[in-house]
Each structure stands twice: as structure tokens, then as C-alpha cells.
Amino acid sequence: MRSYENRQQSIVDRIDSEEPLAKWNDWKWQLRHSVSDIDTFETLLNIRFEADEREALKKTLDTFPLSITPYYLSLIEVEDFRNDPIFMQSFPSPNELIVSCDEMADPLSEDHDSPVPGITHRYPDRVLFHISNVCSMYCRHCTRKRKVGDVDSIPNKDEVLKGIEYIANTPEVRDVLLSGGDPFMLSDEYLDWILTEIRKIPHVEVIRIGSRMPVVLPYRITDNLVNVLKKHHPIWVNTHFNHPREITSSSKEALRKLADAGIPLGNQTVLLAGVNDCYRILKKLFHKMVENRVRPYYLYQCDLSEGLTHFRTSVGKGMEIMEHLIGHTSGFAVPSYVIDAPGGGGKIPVMPNYLISWSTNKVILRNYEGVITTYAEPDSYEAVYCDRKCDGCKLQLKLDEAQEYKSVGIAKLLSDFYDDTSLVPEDTARMERRNVD
């Protein structure tokens, strides 16, 4: 057996010598035996913390709880566990109690952009729907540490119904992302009911589900769960692998089941100091992703959530990594590097600059090697003036259902059918002086 399979047997033996290893693949068994205290963690991995370190760890757990599935625990390399990427993502650190002046409980202002409980409506045509605040494992870098594991904030059925009602009454919403917590912590029957209710809404085109189960508890991806998801196509699933070591035979099997069911898969990786802030690690991860039919979707700069200072890298490190990816591997293996803007600004792509300069008839570009080249603009381009009078437009739009909604932000400034010439923040001193005058 491979080393992690040996560790699996060792963990089962320490949990209960009467428990056969065959129960290992039962996701409910895994949840029942999740590690939630330091003593059990030490026992199962046969390690010991010093007394002062244990005291500091217990103080951390008073604020941010611990939960690790036996499966994910078995991936830790005990010989060098303090530097192990699995350990660092799953086990608490006293550094989590260090809150810098820049950190916030809700850095993305999800609560402020919540028209009804459970719904975050930030972008024009899509909403985030929080249907669970419970996870099989509490990731130490979680942006929603303020909610995850809080039994007082678990959405009940009435709150879920209010979220569904909001979606039904908001026709511009065409894309619903089910999130949490982890939606796959819900029972198959309850998840089936939620998906059925959302599918009844005519203007909802796509349902997405964000889950880390393929990473931390792949046995949750059962045949029955997959059959439930298949009933409600188009369903998309985004998961969250951060390191190549998380890709095991079990996680591959979970991904295979989902992909074979016709479910498009994406992956969102968080850039974490000491875990994956190395272009060789991330390139290997992304190659393994596409090998298992998962599209690398986002590489996130770590959020400004409370207690995450020790995980954050500089943006420069992220840019360096992108320089080692773009042009050096397949384009579909390169994610978008984004910063989820504090204050609810949404995901902002940050990429190396390949457009060096431009003039009236050409642009100057550089490639990944540093080659500088030009692209000639057309000598005569008659721009299409758009007044939103689609019936008289020469472009053959001919959509079955042409429904327009107002533009916002930069798109509004670029549009021909608005008179706005600038975007002006409301609370500037200049605006205050205008109001006084």
C-alpha cells in the first residue's frame, strides 16, 4: 500500500480497533469521526505539542473551531507536519488571533449586499445563495470564518424559501451560485428540493455549486448525489484544490463521477504563503486539474478576513507566478488571477501587462518571452453606434428573448445611449462642498 493508505489504516485503528477499514469510504462515517480537538489530533497522528503551544492552540480554538475529516488528516506527512500544506490548511495556528488593522470580519461586504437573508446580489445577472454554513472541514484560510461552523446562523427552510422567492422576483438573475459552508453537506433529498425549486424559475439559466468535498471528503460524491445533480442540468460545480498533494485516487474518482455525469468542473485556488506560493507547485496543480477534466478558473489573492495575515502573499508574488504560467503551459490550464475587492467591489483581474503602447493605427505588444511586436489597426473601421433600437440594427441579433437591463460602471460610460461622462464617488469633500453650495 502507498504511505497515505498506511496512514488511513493507522487512523482507523486508533479511532476504534473494531472498525474495519471498509468503513473509510462512508462519508457519514468520516463526518462522525471528524477531528475537532487537539487531543484527538495528537492521538491519531501520534504527535505531541509542547504545553505552551497547546495552550496557544486552545485559545485559537475558542475563536475559530477545528474540524478535519479523517481522510484529509491522512494526507498529512507527519515527519515534517509543521511545513505540510495539508496541515497548514486544516490545523489552527495562533497566528489566526493576530488581526491587522486592514482585516475585516466581512471583507467582501457580503452582508451589505444581501437584499434578503442568504442572498448576496453583487453582479447584475447573478447571485450567491448561501444555503449552508456547515463544512466537513474548516479551512484555516476561509473568507467566511465569521459564519462557518456557527450553528446559530445555519439557514433554515424558511430562509431558503425567501432566497428562492427573491430570485424568482428578480428577472435579471440568470445564474445562481449555491454556496456556504458547503452545499454538499445537505442531504441529497434537501438539495434535490432546492434545485427543483430554483429550476422552476424561468429566467434562471445556470445553477452553479461551490464545494470543497472533492478535496476534503471525496466519498461524499456518491452515485446517488450525482444522479440528483444530473436531474437539474445545466449544473456546474466549482471546487477548491490548493496543492497537488490533495489530488489522490479518491479525489480523482470523485471528479470522474461528476465529469462523466456531464457536469462542467472548475477549480478556484487561493494563493497561500507557505502552502502554494511557488509557480512549480501551482503549475503542477493546474496540470493535474486539466488531466482530471477540471478547468483552473480563478487564482485568488488571499482575502482580508480576520486572522489571515500569515497566509497572504504580496500581489507581486502572484504576478510572478502568472508570468511563469502564461505562455509556459496550455492556455486552458492558466486561471485568472483576481483580487476580490474589499468593500464588495467584486473580482478584479490582475495580470501582467502585455500591451506596451498604442497609437492611432497600431498597438505595441510583448509576449511571454519578451518579444516586442506590433499589431496594425484597420485603416478604416466604422464603429457601430448603439442606441438600443435593435429592430433597426444591421447586426443580426435576432434573439428569441431580447431583454435589456441598465448598464453600470465602466460599461455605462462606454455606452452610446447614456449621457454620463464620469463616475464620481459620493462621499468626497468636493461633493460635500457642492451640497453645501
Kindly tell me the burial class for residue 322, based on how many C-beta atoms sit within 10 Å of its own C-beta (0-12, 13-18, 19 or more). buried
* pLDDT digit string, tens, across residues 372-429: 999 999 988 877 777 767 667 777 666 655 555 677 788 888 777 777 778 877 777 7
Residue 430's pLDDT is what? 62
Check if 126 is active-site: yes
Residue 427's pLDDT is what? 77
Q: State whether 204 and 339 are in the same domain.
A: yes
Q: Is residue 47 part of a domain?
A: yes
Average pLDDT of 206-232? 98
Q: Is residue 357 part of a domain?
A: no
Q: State whether 320 and 227 are in the same domain.
A: yes
393 is in an annotated binding site: no
Q: Is the pLDDT of residue 130 over 50?
A: yes
> Looking at 314, 349, 384, which one is the last position of a domain?
349
Q: How many helices (H) and strands (E) does the chain have?
A: 15, 12
| Active-site residue, selected from the candidate residues 72, 84, 113, 139 | 139
Domain count across the chain: 2
Q: State whether 81 and 127 are in the same domain.
A: no
* pLDDT digit string, tens, across residues 115-127: 999 999 988 899 9
| Active-site residue, selected from the candidate residues 7, 126, 283, 288 | 126
Give the ranges where 100-248 is alpha helix by DSSP (H): 157-168, 188-199, 213-216, 223-230
Residue 419's pLDDT is what? 77
| Active-site residue, selected from the candidate residues 84, 113, 138, 144 | 144
| Active-site residue, selected from the candidate residues 113, 182, 192, 303 | 303
For residue 382, the Cα-to-chain-centroid distance in whole angstroms is 41
386 is in an annotated binding site: no
Check if 102 is active-site: no
Q: State whether 165 and 254 are in the same domain.
A: yes
Indicate the pairing of strand 175-179 with strand 206-210.
Answer: parallel
* pLDDT digit string, tens, across residues 45-103: 999 999 999 999 999 998 888 999 999 999 999 999 999 999 999 999 999 888 888 87
Q: State whether 128 and 225 are in the same domain.
A: yes
- Three-state DSSP class for residue 156: coil
Q: Is the pLDDT of residue 437 over 80?
A: no
Q: Which residue in the block uniquely carries the three cell numbers 494526507?
A: 75
| Active-site residue, selected from the candidate residues 23, 54, 347, 366 | 347
Residue 399's pLDDT is what? 61
For residue 129 the three cell numbers come to: 445563495
* pLDDT digit string, tens, across residues 144-188: 766 655 555 678 899 999 999 999 999 999 999 999 889 999 999
Residue 393's pLDDT is what? 73
Average pLDDT of 279-289? 98
Q: Name the nearest CA neighbour of 372 among 385, 358, 384, 388.
A: 358
Residue 111's pLDDT is what? 75
* pLDDT digit string, tens, across residues 301-335: 998 888 889 999 999 999 999 999 999 999 999 99
Distances (CA, A) of 259 to 221, 256, 264, 434: 11, 5, 6, 58
> Looking at 302, 322, 349, which one is the last position of a domain?
349
Q: Is residue 378 part of a domain?
A: no
Q: Is residue 375 part of a domain?
A: no
Check if 123 is active-site: yes
| Active-site residue, selected from the candidate residues 7, 106, 113, 142 | 142
Q: State whether 213 and 80 are in the same domain.
A: no
Q: State whether 211 and 76 are in the same domain.
A: no
pTM above threshold 0.85: yes
Residue 113's pLDDT is what? 83
Please report, for the domain that includes residue 155, its CATH number. 3.20.20.70
Q: State whether 15 and 133 are in the same domain.
A: no
Q: Is the pLDDT of residue 198 over 90?
A: yes
Check if 122 is active-site: yes
Which range among 328-337, 346-355, 423-432 shows the weakest confidence by mean pLDDT? 423-432
| Contact by Cβ (8 Å): 201, 167 | yes
Q: State whether 70 and 123 are in the same domain.
A: no
Check if 139 is active-site: yes
Residue 379's pLDDT is what? 85
For residue 253 the three cell numbers come to: 474518482
For residue 4 the three cell numbers come to: 497515505
> Looking at 52, 76, 93, which one is the last position of a domain?
93
Q: State whether 74 and 138 are in the same domain.
A: no
Q: State whether 338 and 204 are in the same domain.
A: yes
| Contact by Cβ (8 Å): 185, 218 | no
| Active-site residue, selected from the candidate residues 4, 14, 37, 123 | 123
Could you give the CA distance from residue 71 to residue 85 in angstroms, rounded to a whole number?
Answer: 15
Higher pLDDT, 18 or 162: 162
Q: Is residue 64 part of a domain?
A: yes
Check if 340 is active-site: yes
Going through 321-361 in order, the beta strands assigned E by DSSP cover 336-341, 346-349, 355-358
Q: Is the pLDDT of residue 1 over 50?
A: no
For residue 399 the three cell numbers come to: 434573439
Residue 240's pLDDT is what? 97
Check if 135 is active-site: yes
Residue 434's pLDDT is what? 65
Q: Is residue 53 part of a domain?
A: yes
* pLDDT digit string, tens, across residues 250-278: 999 999 999 999 999 999 999 999 999 99
Q: Is residue 207 part of a domain?
A: yes
Going through 231-368 in order, the beta strands assigned E by DSSP cover 235-239, 265-271, 295-301, 336-341, 346-349, 355-358, 362-366
- The residue segments making up the domain with residue 11 are 1-93
Check if 142 is active-site: yes
Q: State whether 144 and 3 are in the same domain.
A: no
135 is in an annotated binding site: yes
Residue 168's pLDDT is what? 97
Could you give the CA distance from residue 92 to residue 59 in angstroms, rounded to a whole number?
Answer: 10
Distances (CA, A) of 293 to 265, 272, 296, 332: 7, 24, 10, 11
- Sheet with 336-341: list strands edge to edge: 119-123, 126-130, 175-179, 206-210, 235-239, 265-271, 295-301, 336-341, 346-349
Q: Name the nearest CA neighbour of 41 among 20, 14, 59.
A: 14
Higher pLDDT, 396 or 289: 289
The letter for the amino acid at 160 is: V
Q: Is residue 425 part of a domain?
A: no
Check if 278 is active-site: no
